[in-house]
Amino acid sequence: MFELHASKVANLKNDVLSGLTVALALVPEAVAFAFVAGVEPLVGLYAAFMVGLITSIFGGRPGMISGATGAMAVVMVSLVAIHGVEYLFATVVLTGLLQILAGIFKLGKFIRLVPHPVMLGFVNGLAIVIFLAQLSQFKVTNDAGELVWMQGSALFTMAGLILLTMAIIHLLPKLTKAVPSSLVAIVVVTVLVQSLGLEARTVVDFVRDMTNDPAASIAGGLPQFSIPNVPFNLETLKVILPFAFVLAAIGLIESLLTLTLIDELTGTRGRGNKECMAQGTANTVTGFFGGMGGCAMIGQSMINVNSGGRGRASGITAALALLGFILFASGLIEIIPLAALVGVMFIVVIGTFEWSSFRILGKVPKADAFVIILVSGVTVATDLAIAVVVGVIVSALVFAWEHAKHILVTRSIDEQGSTIYEVTGPIFFGSISNFLEQFTPDDDSDDVVVEFKNARVVDHSAIEAIDTLAERYLSRGKTMHLKHLNQECKILLEKADKLVELNVIEDPDYHIATDKLA
């Protein structure tokens, strides 16, 4: 019913208006993630500004929004609790350097290894996570200082404003697309609440609840350059390096998957390695300016796509507008009802979730259906990066198991009485047992020919299997000829190196997955 209106054409007016919409939604997100990480709200807001600005200018995916994220915040909290915020800043700097190295070594291409079922599970799990995160806005602080669920008129007001926001976002594009419907919805609901004097929680209420400070505000000055105040020695490196590796991996996985998703929505293609470099540069700079670091924010990126943001101007506008809110307009932003922002995020949830996955679950292979459900569940239970890694591993194991069955060896006797084996299919770690079982050295003639013209030797395990086969025939005093092996196979063979028949014209040319050649 609800769809993301994904125009493929960049437009400066749309980018600017969309960027303003995103900036409004960034404020509570940045504050919330700062709270999760155990740092002050401005640390999250500065990160959202700096990471968002730098990645928008230099990143490989125009229109993608980056900032402080929950997946990285949950890793930071233990570091901050034990060692303090200065160690966090040092870790963010090192995280950025590791991400820059990933870009230099072009590791971004490996995002192509993520199978489609994993992507489906990723977006479905992500939609659930975004939805569950919004439920915290339905809690208020009671007289005892505890967070409890809303009841009575407060709950009905909140629900009504959310539904109004969603209705405007859904219906306005049917009348006009001159302005982003999300921005119009936020403005209309804010004006309505202020003019009618409705009792509705606002952004400043959220900030004060998060900080437990009745005078808290998002107002602040420009971020200041500062070298992290930590000892520059091996002990510090031992503390921050494990956290930096985890944060770098999480940040890149989320960013590259978000990039892939936006590629699909807009029908364009981003540059993964360039995005790795931009993310790394952003985090390195942020660590020196008192920010908590971050990565691509899929929720805000979906708001941007839905609002018509396609070019770099959308992300730049969002970052600069966020800084403007901090410096000059904190009072205006703080009066925005949380219900309006929750309504925007609910629309994102509806548009992000792949509803078609329910329809295809019974039609795709059971293994793919399992992966979709598994990744969705792990995403909700842990975080996106772990879920994707688990999904890729399970998909790879399923692939290996299925292709292990595709090795076929046919046996025949030629006119000279030689035993001929023709091998068809991939020979790799998963299929070598089946490969070896199909040979009968005791029953074969003294002259054996193994034809690899229709086979492919994939990895070093396959090379070892061929050597094992050669040793079996040699131990029985029989001669084995190996025909049409790849040149790399011939180099790697040890037991069977003298049993390979060379055929320069017909021999195949491909590369084997092994470190031994290096």
HEC sequence for 140-169: EECCCCCEEECCHHHHHHHHHHHHHHHHHH
**What CATH number does the domain containing 483 carry?**
3.30.750.24
pLDDT for 505 equals: 46
Cα→Cα distances 75→81, 92, 171, 251, 290, Å: 11, 12, 40, 11, 17
My answer on whether 66 and 111 are in the same domain is yes
For residue 323, the surrounding DSSP H or E stretch is helix 312-327
CA distances from 436 to 400, 463, 466, 500 (A): 17, 12, 8, 18
Residue 33 domain-assigned (yes or no): yes
Q: What is the pLDDT of residues 120-129, one digit of tens each?
A: 888 888 788 8
The yes-or-no verdict on residue 518 having pLDDT over 60 is no
CA-to-CA distance for 330 and 332, rounded, in angstroms?
6
Number of domains in the chain: 3
My answer on whether 349 and 457 are in the same domain is: no
Is position 518 within any domain? no
Mind listing the pLDDT tens digit for each residue in 243-285? 999 899 889 988 998 998 898 888 888 898 999 999 999 999 9
Of 515, 45, 35, nearest to 319 by C-alpha is 45
415/289 same-domain check: no
Q: What is the mean pLDDT of the chain?
A: 87
Tell me, yes or no, whether 279 and 349 share the same domain: yes
Residue 515 lies in a domain: no
> In this structure, are 74 and 24 located in the same domain?
yes
Specify the pTM: 0.73
Residue 393 tokens read as 């591993």
Mean pLDDT to the nearest integer, 56-65: 94
Beta partners for 140? 148
The answer, yes or no, to whether residue 104 has pLDDT greater than 90, is yes
In this structure, are 245 and 377 located in the same domain? Answer: no
Of 62, 9, 51, nearest to 270 (Cα)? Answer: 62
Tell whether 203 is covered by a domain. Answer: yes
Q: Residue 508 falls within a domain, yes or no? A: no
Q: Whole-angstrom Cα distance, residue 3 to residue 6?
A: 9
3-state secondary structure of 444: coil
Residues 394 and 280 in one domain: no
Same domain, 91 and 173: yes
Residues 384 and 417 occupy one common structural domain? no
Query: Could you report the per-residue pLDDT of 194-253, keeping only the tens digit for each?
Result: 999 998 989 888 888 777 788 888 898 999 999 999 999 999 999 999 999 989 988 998
- Is residue 44 a part of any domain in this protein? yes
Dist. CA 194–CA 183, nearest whole Å? 17
Let me know if 185 is exposed, middle or buried by CB neighbors in 10 A (0-12, 13-18, 19+): buried
DSSP 327-375: HT-HHHHHTSBHHHHHHHHHHHHHHHS-THHHHHTTTS-HHHHHHHHHH
Give the 3-state secondary structure of residue 81: helix
Q: Please state, as a whole number, how many other Cβ atoms lie within 10 Å of the Cβ of residue 195.
A: 8
Residue 442, both tokens: 């005791």
Interior angle at CA 243, CA 239 and CA 249, nearest 5: 150
Which residues are bridge partners to 397 per DSSP?
A: none
Q: How many CB atoms lie within 10 A of CB 45?
A: 28
pLDDT-based confidence at residue 321 (cuts at 50, 70, 90): very high
> pLDDT digits over 137-185, tens only?
888 877 777 778 889 998 999 999 999 999 999 999 888 877 888 889 9
Same-domain status, 113 and 48:
yes
Domain containing residue 471: 405-501
Give Cα 96 to chain centroid, integer Å. Answer: 17
